Amino acid sequence: MFSGLLIILLPLIAGYLIPLRHSATLKLINRLLSWIVYVILFFMGISLAFLDNLASNLLSILHYSAVSIVIILLCNIAALFWLERILPWRHQHQQEKLPSRIAMALESLKLCGVVVLGFLLGLTGLDILQHATEASEYTLIFLLFLVGVQLRNNGMTLRQIVLNRRGMIVAVIVVASSLVGGAINAFILDLPLKTGLAMASGFGWYSLSGILLTEAFGPVIGSATFFNDLARELIAIMLIPGMVHRSRSTALGLSGATSMDFTLPVLQRSGGIEIVPAAIVHGFLLSLLVPVLMAFFTA
């Protein structure tokens, strides 16, 4: 098996070194990323089916993910409300009519369905399926390479990041409070500290965090992290519209890394166009930190 550090950082850096200006190629990369995520999650479901003591391991996954999401979100919300109190975010926006949140939630749950399909196929016990772990490793390398290309060519300049103070501050608070939550999780769940911190470093990017931690710690921790980060996105979709007028920092921070893509439309309609630059910077910084922190905690 590849070293956790090399499998994450080398393809990511290689992709980041490639400048692209052709919009059609960038669109193709975005589509490829979506497809590859489904493929790797399918492999993850197959690997899950080959676990020893399957029933007890499934209960462990449920237990780990439930405790993690509760503790991490409580730490995030407490820290972000504190930020809003000492550094209020002034605004004049009136909330627009939102798209169906149920429809958006169902879109996220498709990923769960892919894992379940892989799991059901794995239960057949076919010999060829025992190579799912190795196949997912090579697919993961390609995925990280494309993520690096995408981060390099998303249009964000260093000047834009530095100038958006609110997005940077919220990202720092989310990272710090999540890692505190990860340390608490490690204590409650009787896990090594680095494992708890790695599980808290996904910031809602379930399509990458679950895959990386499956490679590093096995299907139980990887699957628990996947469901933990998926639950974060679903909870954010439901809470942002009501939260944005009480604490805009909390509404943004709940979105985690998805504030630059999936939850951005909800943030914009709820908080106005003025929240968009902060949301993009916040999501970009967290997306950049996910593979770096996970490489550090799994090395």
- In this prediction, residue 184 has a pLDDT band, given cuts at 50, 70 and 90, of very high
Q: Residue 264 burial by CB count (10 A; 0-12/13-18/19+): exposed, middle or buried?
A: middle
- For the record, the structure tokens of 89 come out as 């975010």
C-alpha closest to that of 99 among 275, 277, 284, 262: 262
d(CA 237, CA 206): 15
pLDDT score recorded for residue 78: 96
Q: Find where tokens 């429809």 sit.
A: 103
| More confident call, 155 vs 121 | 121
Q: Higher-confidence residue: 42 or 153? A: 42
pLDDT more than 90, % of the chain: 26
Residue keyed to tokens 């951005």: 264
Distance CA 66, CA 50 (A): 23
pLDDT score for 28 = 86
Kindly tell me the burial class for residue 159, based on how many C-beta atoms sit within 10 Å of its own C-beta (0-12, 13-18, 19 or more): exposed
- In the chain, the amino acid numbered 92 is Q
Structure token digits, residue 95: 């909330």
- Please report the pLDDT score of residue 133 as a whole number: 72
**Which of the residue ranges 1-10, 171-180, 241-250, 275-284 would you say has the lowest mean pLDDT?**
1-10
Q: Around Cβ 141, how many Cβ atoms within 10 Å?
A: 17
Task: Write out pLDDT tens, residues 76-110.
Answer: 999 999 999 998 887 555 544 555 556 656 666 67
232-285 pLDDT, tens per residue?
Answer: 887 887 788 878 888 899 999 999 988 877 787 778 777 877 788 888 889 888
Q: What pLDDT, on the 0 to 100 scale, is given for residue 8?
A: 63
Query: What is the 3-state secondary structure of the chain?
Result: CCCHHHHHHHHHHHHHCCCCCCHHHHHHHHHHHHHHHHHHHHHHHHHHHCCCCHHHHHHHHHHHHHHHHHHHHHHHHHHHHHHHHHCCCCCCCCCCCCCCHHHHHHHHHHHHHHHHHHHHHHCCCCHHHHHHHHHHHHHHHHHHHHHHHHHHCCCCCHHHHHHCHHHHHHHHHHHHHHHHHHHHHHHHHCCCHHHHHHHCCCCCCHHHHHHHHHHHHCHHHHHHHHHHHHHHHHHHHHHHHHHCCCCHHHHHHHHHHHHHCCCHHHHHHHHCHHHHHHHHHHHHHHHHHHHHHHHHHHC
Residues above pLDDT 70, as percent of the chain? 85
Residue 93, judged by CB atoms within 10 A of its CB (0-12, 13-18, 19+), counts as: middle
Give the residue extent of every domain in the chain. Answer: 4-298
If you average pLDDT over residues 215-241, what whole number do you get?
86
Q: Over range 192-204, report the average pLDDT.
A: 94
pLDDT-derived band at 5 (thresholds 50, 70, 90) equals: low
